[in-house]
Structure 1
Amino acid sequence: MHKVSIIIPNFNYGQYVSEAIESALNQTYPNIEVIFIDDGSVDGSLDAALSYSITVLSQENQGVSAARNNAASMATGDYLLFLDSDDLLYPDAIEVMVKELASSEANIGFCYGQLQYFGEKNDIFISAPFDPKKLSFANYIQTSVLIKKSIFDAVGGFDRGFALREDWELFIRVWHYGYSGKYLPRPVIKYRKHRPKKVVREMSKLRKRLSDVKLIRLYPMFFWRKVLSSPVRFLYYNFRYFKPSMVGNYGKSKMEIKLIK
């Protein structure tokens, strides 16, 4: 039976941590390990995590991509699943995705299902079967895929230079390595939707534009349509904000990871 490592990165979401951890521990699939990694929280998140029989890690604040990579470097599962600390897994999520991925062809690197919003929004995120052309227009794959650890390690994990859309970049890179995804047309994760304040929305706009530039710089032929659709915007953000050191930061970081429990 394949072992699954459920990795929960967290930054100041202490009020939601227990729900996320319990959704991971209450899976119908028995062969799992849960790894919680705190990314420098100051709200008591660690105390909440320490009340459970799971692996608890801590690091200085480095961002979600570094947290996921650092935790993955210590995972012992055959498959990985990344669960944000304010989200929830359906009870049979791991079971149905393992069944799908284990029975798929060798070129299938990950399995993904649909995402159910809850909170400020209560509908289903529109997803679709894997299609690289569609992926060049928008990311229709939710972050919490079940991915083979061997493939995640081979491609380098998340790019730590991305503060946003890091999952989109990973899926594109996995495809460039010759692997596809398998779509499961049912919800597997509940995504907590927060209502952003005006300042947060403005910050997100800049981060999205910069993420677009990073994606285009890494995969110019893949995103040629995006360049043609907004060439002036791309040139502005490229010359105003982009630095080559922002991309290509793969694998675990060099900063210390503390094993708390």
Structure 2
Amino acid sequence: MRIDVLSLFPNMFTGVLNESILKRAKEIGKVEYNVINFREYANNKHNTVDDYPYGGGAGMVLKPEPIFNAVESIKAKTSSKPRVILLCPQGEQYTQKKAEELAKEEHLVFICGHYEGYDERIRMHLVTDEISIGDYVLTGGELGAMVIIDSVVRLLPGVLGNEDSPVLDSFSTGLLEHPQYTRPAEFRGMKVPDVLLSGNHQLIEEWRRKQSLKRTLERRPDLLHHYPLSDQDKKWLEEIKAKKHDSNL
């Protein structure tokens, strides 16, 4: 996969792309990163990338020329047809499903904005996706781009040591992940559940499934509204709800 990032602050990405899983993915040849300062593509002597909005108003707006020029330059150097992603609070809410979709692409281009917003022609005629990582406002799109890149790159085949890891993550299955434990079996009087020490894999899988359902019900019940529950899932959920009701009496 090739990932190009257009940013006015490219140094923000230096640490993130050169540590942990993102660094490993680059080293084993699964991804190539290119962080580009789109100020270099401005077509005026002062390299200006923003201007006052027509009609008046607060703040400055990113001009179309530098961003169009930068994206067109990227496209001219590759035969792939990239997904061009605009980081924007008006975009669709980012989800694990979207991460899985983007992980199948060969080439992603991220546009990180600043100031009051983008010239609308960028949104209408250049980008393929508008994405928001949450209902809050950041200083710029860099942090959002980092979040998306991290969530996508870890899904590329061979990046994580255990191929089952991304499949079993919270949200990948549609439910929150079950509790995890490791050694020691007892720590400061707190014990690992006996079933996990039993060696009975069927019981362990049942326990994990029940715990996943329980945690989802307690923390993100909205995820259950459209999740395809099996008959056994429904039975376990009823048991969980009954125990919760009894404990509240």
- TM-score under structure 2 length normalisation: 0.27
Give 1 or 2 for the bigger CA radius of gyration.
2
More strand by proportion, 1 or 2? 1
Q: Which has the higher contact order (CA 8 A, sep 6+)?
A: 1
TM-score by length of 1: 0.26
Task: Please identify which structure carries the higher helix content.
Answer: 2
